[in-house]
């Protein structure tokens, strides 16, 4: 769908005066600033800079540990739910249990609702503690258990423990809307205009364990977006429905997601396939026949699919484009597929770059070896995004800081990254035009302030990642 409108959209974009071209002295100013700026000054600059948007963002992975704690322990705000978490391992079910399933017996800080807790045996109940009764040491361990905070933690810790630990909290629609609002408020602070987040709308539960309808959850999300608190952020939000690509019922999930998005296109604008690519049961072409059937029945639904988040060369990105995807999530190994890389140069297909994710999940041994600058500087459309920012304890400014400091980005390249996030969003054409005009105006105001030497306030608080990765940012 995005491809069909891309040509018309380009006409709109190129009919506007270029942000970069309208103030050529900004490029010179930024080049000089890079030479003299301290790490903290560069970070403050990028934090204050208007940013187009974050369009590769998992809502359930974007909650800071403290946000999860605050909402999970407040039954008045979270819809009346109470939670317990595992603080002691006991072999209540003997040996040989499924430690790779959704409820592993030995996984510490696996969190369940009161409803689930009451279904446990007496032995199992003894392993769990009411969340509000945790000691300070246990609370800190709980918070650390859902973020990558230790050197030995990486891909397996992330994929095989974080989501299982979140447990029943993932099934609470009120927690999801709270995390959305907290993200919007955080993005307001760093001048992000747009958020396109991925979530599931199925399997939500009431406190008594009964199912919450997908329609009721959608209405809850939209009501939150219309609330005064959300409106004050001035962050525009749209949703993608994600499906877990390697599950046995993934094609059924796809059909249900397609039908849902088709009936709720104002706010739900696309579908995404998520999950580890090294699980070959989720190979892209598995979904080709289903997608062709669905496109024969209704207007197309935009697709942004995780592809190329892999250590070894493969054809997943090419195969994903064949599915009809408009955007590629990660695209890390695109560099190993020269034919597809050549095809994507100056194309309508965008790669969503997640530098911190690729580093912490060990796809890139260092930021310096990331292929992002090769894509950017050979004409492959790219933008920067955060992926699962809560589990890295990071933000979008961190991504820009790494990009600028490792790859010496120019002002024009920063403008391009910001513009691409909106140009390649799945919003309607009219909404994209409106947001692009807003970005243009806010960027020009930012340029004017810099050229007039208007000072930028020093940040007083930073997320954990950047203070660990670049201590000088936080210590000045």
Tell how strand 51-58 and strand 350-353 pair up: unpaired
> How far apart are the C-alpha atoms of 422 and 16, rounded to whole Å?
15
57 shares a domain with 87: no
146 shares a domain with 25: no
108 shares a domain with 19: no
97 shares a domain with 205: no
pLDDT given at position 278: 84
pLDDT given at position 17: 43
pTM across the whole model: 0.93
Query: Does 229 reside within a domain?
Result: no
208 shares a domain with 303: yes
375 shares a domain with 267: yes
Give the total number of structural domains in the chain: 2
State the number of CA atoms in the 13 A half-sphere of 318 facing the CB.
12
pLDDT given at position 19: 47
pLDDT given at position 327: 98
CA nearest neighbour of 169 among 247, 240, 115: 115
Contacts of 265 (CB under 8 A, 6+ apart): none
- In angstroms, how far apart are the furthest CA atoms of the chain? 71
Query: Does 363 reside within a domain?
Result: yes
Query: Does 372 reside within a domain?
Result: yes
122 shares a domain with 17: no
**Sheet architecture: strand order including 51-58:** 51-58, 192-199, 236-244, 268-274, 302-307, 327-330, 350-353, 382-384
359 shares a domain with 431: yes
393 shares a domain with 280: yes
Query: Does 277 reside within a domain?
Result: yes
Torsion of CA 184, 185, 191, 196, to 10 degrees: -10
pLDDT given at position 383: 98
Query: Does 351 reside within a domain?
Result: yes
Which residues constitute the domain of residue 307?
A: 2-62+191-223+236-451
> How far apart are the C-alpha atoms of 120 and 217, rounded to whole Å?
28
pLDDT given at position 104: 82
> How far apart are the C-alpha atoms of 65 and 201, rounded to whole Å?
22
Query: Does 407 reside within a domain?
Result: yes
Query: Going residue by residue through the chain (476 aa), what tens digit of pLDDT does each one get?
Result: 544 444 444 444 444 444 444 445 999 999 999 999 999 999 999 999 999 999 999 999 999 999 999 999 999 999 999 999 999 988 988 888 887 777 788 899 999 999 999 999 999 999 999 999 999 999 999 999 999 988 899 888 888 889 899 999 999 999 999 999 999 999 999 999 999 999 999 999 999 999 999 999 999 999 999 999 999 999 999 999 999 999 999 999 999 999 999 999 999 999 999 998 888 898 999 999 999 999 999 999 999 999 999 888 999 999 999 999 999 999 999 999 999 999 999 999 999 999 999 999 999 999 999 999 999 999 999 999 999 999 999 999 999 999 999 999 999 999 999 999 999 999 999 999 999 999 999 999 999 999 999 999 999 899 999 999 999 999 87
88 shares a domain with 49: no
pLDDT given at position 24: 56
pLDDT given at position 103: 76
219 shares a domain with 157: no
Whether residue 242 contacts residue 200, with contact meaning beta carbons closer than 8 Å, is answered with: yes
Q: Angle 288-295/250-263 helices, nearest 10 degrees?
A: 30
């Amino acid at each position: 769908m995005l491809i069909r409108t891309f040509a018309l959209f380009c006409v709109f974009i190129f009919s506007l005066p270029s942000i970069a071209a309208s103030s050529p002295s900004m490029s010179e100013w930024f080049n000089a600033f890079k030479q003299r700026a301290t790490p903290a000054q560069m970070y403050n600059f990028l934090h204050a800079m208007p940013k187009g948007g974050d369009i590769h963002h998992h809502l359930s992975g974007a909650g800071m540990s403290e946000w999860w704690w605050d909402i999970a322990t407040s039954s008045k705000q979270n819809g009346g739910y109470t939670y317990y978490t595992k603080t002691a391992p006991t072999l209540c079910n003997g040996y040989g249990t499924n430690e790779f399933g959704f409820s592993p017996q030995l996984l510490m800080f696996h969190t369940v609702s009161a409803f689930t807790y009451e279904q446990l045996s007496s032995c199992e109940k003894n392993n769990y503690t009411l969340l509000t009764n945790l000691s300070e040491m246990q609370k800190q361990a709980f918070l650390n258990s859902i973020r990558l905070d230790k050197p030995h933690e990486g891909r397996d810790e992330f994929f095989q423990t974080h989501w299982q630990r979140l447990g029943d909290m993932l099934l609470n629609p009120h927690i999801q809307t709270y995390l959305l609002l907290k993200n919007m408020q955080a993005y307001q602070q760093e001048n992000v205009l747009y958020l396109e987040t991925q979530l599931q709308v199925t399997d939500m539960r009431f406190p008594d364990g009964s199912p919450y309808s997908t329609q009721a959850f959608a209405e809850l999300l939209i009501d939150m977006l219309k609330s005064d608190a959300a409106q004050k952020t001035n962050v525009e939000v749209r949703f993608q429905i994600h499906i877990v690509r390697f599950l046995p019922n993934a094609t059924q999930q796809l059909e249900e997601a397609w039908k849902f998005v088709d009936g709720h296109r104002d706010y739900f604008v696309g579908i995404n396939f998520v999950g580890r690519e090294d699980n070959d049961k989720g190979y892209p072409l598995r979904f080709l026949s289903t997608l062709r059937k669905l496109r024969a029945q209704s207007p197309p639904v935009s697709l942004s699919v995780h592809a190329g988040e892999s250590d070894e060369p493969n054809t997943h990105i090419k195969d994903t484009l064949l599915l009809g995807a408009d955007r590629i999530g990660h695209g890390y190994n695109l560099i190993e597929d020269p034919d597809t890389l050549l095809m994507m140069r100056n194309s309508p297909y965008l790669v969503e770059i997640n530098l911190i994710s690729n580093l912490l999940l060990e796809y890139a041994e260092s930021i310096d070896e990331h292929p992002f600058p090769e894509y950017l500087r050979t004409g492959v459309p790219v933008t920067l995004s955060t992926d699962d920012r809560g589990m890295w304890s990071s933000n979008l400014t961190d991504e820009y800081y790494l990009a600028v400091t490792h790859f010496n980005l120019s002002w024009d390249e920063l403008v391009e990254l910001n513009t691409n996030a909106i140009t390649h969003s799945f919003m309607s054409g009219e909404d994209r035009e409106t947001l692009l005009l807003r970005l243009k105006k806010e960027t020009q105001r930012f340029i004017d302030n810099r050229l007039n030497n208007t000072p930028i306030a020093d940040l007083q608080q930073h997320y954990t990642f950047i203070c660990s990765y670049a201590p000088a940012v936080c210590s000045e």
